[in-house]
Chain A
């Protein structure tokens, strides 16, 4: 191990260029195109998670002190199910899609053929370090691309494990892992990729897109936002509370892009809601949450300080109604509830990404919908209600990457739904077939016959030709016949 770090070269612009050259060569050889190659890689990816489950859980725990069950549910099992789905569907996904053609192009037939984009870059995030590197990779590989993965440097144990296992199990002539931080990522971003898939913050998302713009590289950006939870009074409260608490604190202690950021409820209902939340929190994490083994830690001291600052903000003093305990040395932060913080407080003006949960109260819930959308479109928005009208209004007026009615975060696991943001929360989507499409170019193919041609298309032009053109473009068979008859 010591020898490795001593002889480790810096990954600079030159290294990035030579990496790209190598991958372009392998991609051009056509190796990644075959069904067999793609299936072999996906099967081996599956083996990584199957055979090294313990190593993976250990690494994630070393990096994030995440409870094992959380890592299993949120990372390992999702990778497994993504692989399984890709393996089961790949044949279908790879088939060209036949489409109808109209009289305008008669006689013709057409299809849409999926092809890989080429050499793609996937940049992962630190909060679900295995998932957010490998899940997009599944799509990229299934689509037949050569891939470079750049896992988050904030999770060094996981990053290094990914590099080791990918190097061992997957075809390293086509799939590579580059570890590193800002310098290495910048070197990578200077290269011309056929697609960049980025998960992370909006600030870095802008940098990635600007770098991509130099090469006209399409990007998918999975960013974040303040995901609101609107809670109505007429609901099954125990179930709702568990789902809200689960989406917040059982998801990496609030450090998830789709974790509920804040709650909006009515002034009347708030006391009941708060009471139920407090009880559930105690049942889950005990009287002293800092002692609980079921709560993930804050990723590093920077983020810890950021969260502490949100609580120490003058504007929220006196609004903290539960929790607030922290342990700086061990990066532990207890679930904390705040009530009716001012709209201009720090905690309401940035994505929290932590265990603080502000609750805002309003007179009528519908009044909050505008406020929600004025804050920039989040990655997800949640509504708990049995009121059909409220549901429909929510769906129509609240724009977000995805919506969940009567639950939180779960849409992430539904592979038949596209997962992605809109506006500030990002662009592009993935999961299931959407992952395959995210890394594919859908090429139109038109086959034209020789049976006949409207000379009306060509010069020299005339009024009669114009009549026929009008009929042809209108798609009207009768019109075409009439125009032809009128033409002697």
Chain B
């Protein structure tokens, strides 16, 4: 745990590293990214162990969701770095010849990354990859709620990366508050909206730009499917997107399902059967599902279930094990919409099914609630797909799957409204830690003398036609053949 008084020398060292210019060098960035790659390879077993300790995750889940996606992202950054770092030329109109214009990507400087506890490696290092690729000095503050992961990061990062330019500072709220009082060139925050507000308010003091990756209640709209092949496939994806994603403790986990009331019994049957198949009789033993992060969240979820109006809606599971912080995969049918299970982000292995008269009613249902990080739609109906895209708003929309958009690096990952703003993954990670500096290069050879005072009507007429890029009219005015324009 970092002592607050000791932070200043660290920060000064980081600023000095940035000022020296070394983090801007392509060679430095490459070496850091390679260092990360080596860390992920050599520390794989320890990472699995830490995640098992913090969250009870099976190493396959840890690989799939964290180590694997990070490895993919580092490799992408390494192979794309030269391209990402190069200036982009901007087109200019003929009238400005022989000027040239470009956009030059430069690092912001010293950036702060605050990550969350549910994917403690993934959500820490994914932004770090972008920050390093973009040439910044970095402070990473991992979540103290995942202590084994936080401590492993604090131990390994200084060994594999340049400890003068990339630092891990561990701690809880007090350390977080102190860090937020400092002046950063960018803050990247993953967590809940309450803390998101605190982060942005602190950033406002220094005019620091922020990216906030928050959460929300991500709905899954479930249309009817006729083919059993399709049904089996999407059911697996739904369950993978809920219980298979850190036991539902993920910002993009399916929060609840919307289904047409006629199809609900079929859906429930499919879900129940597949849940048993995928998670077995003893999911905690087989680690086919993660456990709840801590007592506080366990009790929060238990309280949700203890509400009598909610408890009566449980149609599968519902068993809780306080000693082991484990809650079984639980399915509920139509819990009251005013209960906290339907007003707050669940962030746990409770899956409400809400039935609607028509599947299209899901659009209004979703629109009357805050914008979520993701909307999932399981359907083959092209009209419904188009309507969801144009009539709802969310960070992203995924059809016929869930969570997997996290692994795609050609589409931006981020929220809108209550689910946050800013985005990353792939090149978007690089961009989020970059200032795109506009550069206009002009020649001293030619001049539009009519740009300058003293003013007269002739100059004004020339300016008007120049701005319209009406070269012919410009010529006429110049030659005195036209007065007004």
Contact = CB atoms under 8 A, between A and B. Distances in A.
Interface string B106-125: 10110000000000000000
B440 A67 contact: no
Nearest to B60: A461
A101 interface: yes
Given A448-B398, A450-B233, A470-B63, A104 B207 contact: no
B366 to A, nearest CB: 13
B479 interface: no
Contacts of B101: 411, 414, 416-417
A416 B204 contact: no
B288 A460 contact: yes
B282 to A, nearest CB: 11
A465 B61 CA distance: 10
Contacts of A465: 60
B209 interface: yes
Interface residues of B, number: 107
Q: How large is the interface on A (under 10, 10 to 19, 20 to 34, 35 or more residues)?
A: 35 or more
Contacts of A414: 90, 92, 96, 101, 438, 440
B279 A444 contact: no
Contacts of B31: none
B407 A245 contact: no
Contacts of A218: 421-422
Interface string A380-412: 000010100001000111011111111100110
A112 B411 contact: yes
A443 B399 CA distance: 13
A129 interface: no
Given A406-B443, A423-B207, A459 B68 contact: no
B49 interface: no
Contacts of B417: 118, 194, 216
Interface in B410-469: 410-413, 416-418, 420-423, 435-445, 447, 449, 451-455, 459-460, 463-464, 467-468
A321 interface: no
B69 interface: yes
Given A100-B410, A448-B401, A246 B452 contact: yes
Interface stretch (B171-179, B236-244, B296-304): B236-244
B289 interface: yes
A170 to B, nearest CB: 23
Contacts of B436: 418, 429
A284 B413 contact: no
A284 B452 contact: yes
B311 interface: no
B453 A67 contact: yes
A230 interface: no
Nearest to B289: A459
A474 B72 contact: yes
Contacts of A399: 106, 435, 437
Interface stretch (A131-139, A171-179, A204-212, A357-365): A204-212
Contacts of B72: 104, 473-475
Contacts of A115: 390, 393
B137 to A, nearest CB: 14
A82 to B, nearest CB: 11
A273 to B, nearest CB: 14
Contacts of A472: 68
Contacts of B270: none
Given A69-B463, A443-B397, A460-B288, A422 B435 contact: yes
B32 interface: no
The A interface is mostly helix, strand or loop, or mixed, namely: mixed
Given A223-B207, A406-B443, A474-B71, A216 B196 contact: yes
Given A242-B447, A444-B412, A458 B278 contact: yes
Contacts of A284: 452-454
Contact of B444 (A235, A396, A475): A235
Interface string A5-29: 0000000000000000000000010
Contacts of B452: 242, 245-246, 250, 284
A453 B60 contact: no
Contact of A418 (B394, B438, B460): B438
Interface stretch (A40-48, A72-80, A263-271, A312-320): A72-80
A87 to B, nearest CB: 14
Contacts of A167: none
Contacts of B399: 445-448
Contacts of B317: none
B106 A450 contact: no
Question: Which of B230, B244, B279, B397 counts the most chain A CB atoms within 10 A?
Answer: B397
Contact of A453 (B237, B411, B441): B237
A482 B61 CA distance: 21
B103 A209 contact: no
Contacts of A113: 389
A471 to B, nearest CB: 10
Contacts of B61: 459, 461
A426 B204 CA distance: 11
A63 B316 CA distance: 71
B200 A213 contact: yes
Contact of B204 (A67, A213, A422): A213
A446 B413 CA distance: 11
B458 to A, nearest CB: 11
A411 B438 contact: yes
A414 B35 CA distance: 41
A414 B95 CA distance: 11
A278 interface: no
A210 B92 CA distance: 38
Given A80-B467, A209-B204, A216 B420 contact: yes
30 contacts: A68-B460, A102-B409, A108-B401, A209-B200, A216-B197, A218-B422, A239-B447, A246-B453, A395-B104, A397-B21, A406-B441, A410-B442, A414-B96, A414-B438, A414-B440, A416-B92, A423-B207, A443-B396, A444-B411, A444-B413, A445-B398, A447-B399, A448-B404, A450-B233, A457-B240, A459-B288, A460-B280, A461-B60, A474-B72, A475-B75
Interface of B: 21, 24, 58-61, 63-64, 68-69, 71-72, 75, 90-92, 96, 101, 103-104, 106, 108-109, 185, 193, 196-197, 200-201, 203-205, 207, 209, 212, 214, 229-230, 233-234, 236-237, 239-240, 244, 278-280, 283, 286-289, 367, 385, 389-391, 393-401, 404-405, 407-413, 416-418, 420-423, 435-445, 447, 449, 451-455, 459-460, 463-464, 467-468
Closest 4 CB pairs of A and B: A459-B288, A461-B60, A213-B200, A209-B204
